[in-house]
Structure 1
């Protein structure tokens, strides 16, 4: 079998089983694990999978630049955003992550809903200008242009002074073993810090993020109290979420 044919089969197995192990692929193809690991390295270099210890996971499609991501799974994101807004109660302090799905939340947020929104996303803050009953606290720092959010020590310091009711967190991957992941190391740390300051973390995941992984771990599935999706989840994913006591809401 040619190497190119073997790689295509690896990708097919990955698409069907949502993860591959080097040891199992070695037995399946009758090759050394070194050869399999080389295949996985080359596929990862092409952006076709995400390598992890012992194997690989499907790569997240949500790592593209912000302007491109805004046009991916729009209807899915809108449905999830509308369901997320329904969880907010008057008088609550709400942490809102940056991202294309949280931006969609603004369009469904009633202008007269009296809440306080704390965010490190300038675009979220500006989008709430027309909501007279929403008090907006914008956390400043160095702008991370890929996600249009601020990051750095000043952001961590400001977050530590907030006690919020809800944190709506954006991710680029939700996987039964990799947990919640994103594409930037510092951004993952900011998301963990935000989650630690909220009574409940709500993760919003459109279809392209389910059963996918990115390079940097935010935390395991137990980090969230609620996961909002708009597609049916595989039994294995449902079982993993149930074990971690994560409530799943279908948009």
Structure 2
């Protein structure tokens, strides 16, 4: 009887761990084994076994040191569900309000930026630079948009190009607005991420733009990760699916424009 209860408890604990891991991956697209180990209060070996099982079930994609969301790597596949897709549609629709004809724009990557690219009006004349191969492919259908891909090493954890050559190319660009996705954002620590190479590219993108808009579902608010990208004072707009008057955004309004 004791053995049966113990095995059943272990199963329930594993099931709960898998649920938490999937939420973290859906929310942040990328997770590190060391961070999951701390969050779940289990060994990294246990986390690696959990990730292997989830990968074997075709629910995630394992990478060195962690895992990434399937929707981040294969967003064009019809059978892949995008986490919080309806919220991201609302965010993209709001972001469109900042875009005017003949602007020069800089797009990062991720599913929310892809949604913005999908919603762009077909009749607008724009020049768009992007570090994301997926965004570039999405924009290839627009006859009036000139698309420039900033190439470099493909960071498989974020599915954007990174490295010194990318940062150098970005430094030569002067754009009107930079649109970026968010891993985590908080009042105290600003815009943060878990990937060092991505952070360096993001910093360069902010410097290259007159204005920067962060596109984030509200679940990523009040969360901090290990590497800082920028203080909120260096960002022009925070765009979420929430009404700008929502109480959850009240503290952010003191530092940044809310849409």
TM-score of the superposed pair, with normalisation by structure 1: 0.71
Equivalent residue in structure 2 for 1:165, among 161, 176, 181: 176
1:248 is aligned to 2:240:
no
Contact 1:73–1:207 under 8 Å retained in 2: no
SS of the aligned residue for 2:225 comes to coil
Cα deviation code 1:43-66 (max 9, x no counterpart): 9634359xxxxxxxxxxxxx9624
Equivalent residue in structure 1 for 2:250, among 226, 238, 242: 238
- State the Cα distance separating 1:143 from its structure 2 match: 0.2
SS of the aligned residue for 1:187 comes to helix
Equivalent residue in structure 2 for 1:74, among 78, 85, 89: 85
- State the Cα distance separating 1:114 from its structure 2 match: 0.3
CA change 1:161–1:100 in 2 (3 A) is same
Counterpart Cα distance in 2 of 1:110 and 1:237: 29
Matched residue, 1:183: 194
SS of the aligned residue for 1:167 comes to strand
Matched residue, 2:39: 47
Counterpart Cα distance in 2 of 1:121 and 1:76: 21
For structure 1, the residue ranges without an aligned partner over 5 or more in a row are: 1-41, 50-62
Contact 1:170–1:203 under 8 Å retained in 2: yes
Equivalent residue in structure 1 for 2:150, among 139, 146, 162: 139
Matched residue, 1:100: 111
Matched residue, 2:15: none
Counterpart Cα distance in 2 of 1:48 and 1:210: 21
Cα deviation code 1:146-185 (max 9, x no counterpart): 2110000100110011000000011111111111111201
Contact 1:176–1:236 under 8 Å retained in 2: no
For structure 2, the residue ranges without an aligned partner over 5 or more in a row are: 1-33, 42-65, 76-81
1:185-200, aligned counterparts within 5 Å? Answer: 185-200=196-211
Contact 2:71–2:111 under 8 Å retained in 1: no
Cα deviation code 1:92-131 (max 9, x no counterpart): 0000011110000122101221000000100000101110
SS of the aligned residue for 1:202 comes to strand
Q: Count matched residues.
A: 193
Counterpart Cα distance in 1 of 2:35 and 2:111: 28
SS of the aligned residue for 2:100 comes to coil
Contact 1:173–1:212 under 8 Å retained in 2: yes
SS of the aligned residue for 1:214 comes to coil
